[in-house]
Amino acid sequence: MKTSFCFLTLAASITSALLSQIPGDDSKIRTQEQLQAIQDDADVNRKCHQANANYIPSLAPGKYAASAFHNCFRTSKQIFEFVDTLTSQNANLISKFPISTTVKGQTIYAYKLSTSAKPKALYYESLIHAREWIA
């Protein structure tokens, strides 16, 4: 009787622990609280994007730092759109060119910032880790 009770108690606690954890899209097991925190963060970011949309038309040389682009965490697509706009507005200073492809076949671009024939080199890498560009 005691063994059955202990077994049932153990089974109930294991079941309860397993039911409180949910696998995410990335196959990581998270608690309901963790999933809610992720959702809340995404909701805040979406609201920020809506409040700070339409920043591309307002971009102009000398006013980039004041752009609403910087008010939110941005997607990689938005970051590339921003940098591509900087490139098109400053073609004498910034150039864009392909340097490789990802394992999924997507083009990896490089941006060169230079006004002289023999520039000094500076290598800058970003978008490797989440939200790294804003750090």
124 — pLDDT class (breaks 50, 70, 90)? confident
Count the domains in the chain. 1
Assigned domain for 2 exists: no
90 — pLDDT class (breaks 50, 70, 90)? very high
pLDDT at 51: 95
Assigned domain for 66 exists: yes
Assigned domain for 84 exists: yes
Sign of CA dihedral 84, 88, 90, 96: positive
Assigned domain for 53 exists: yes
71 or 27, higher pLDDT = 71
Longest dimension (CA), the chain: 87
Rounded to 5 degrees, what angle do the CA atoms 62, 67, 73 make? 140
Assigned domain for 43 exists: yes
25 or 64, higher pLDDT = 64
* Cα–Cα nearest to 26, from 130, 115, 132, 97: 130
- Residue 20: is its pLDDT beyond 90? no
pLDDT at 12: 58
Range of the domain at 49: 31-134
- Which pair of tokens denotes residue 123? 């290598």
123 — pLDDT class (breaks 50, 70, 90)? confident
For range 115-131, the mean pLDDT: 71
131 — pLDDT class (breaks 50, 70, 90)? low
User: What is the per-residue pLDDT across 61-72, written as a single tens digit (0 to 9) for each?
Assistant: 989 999 999 999
SS3 102: coil
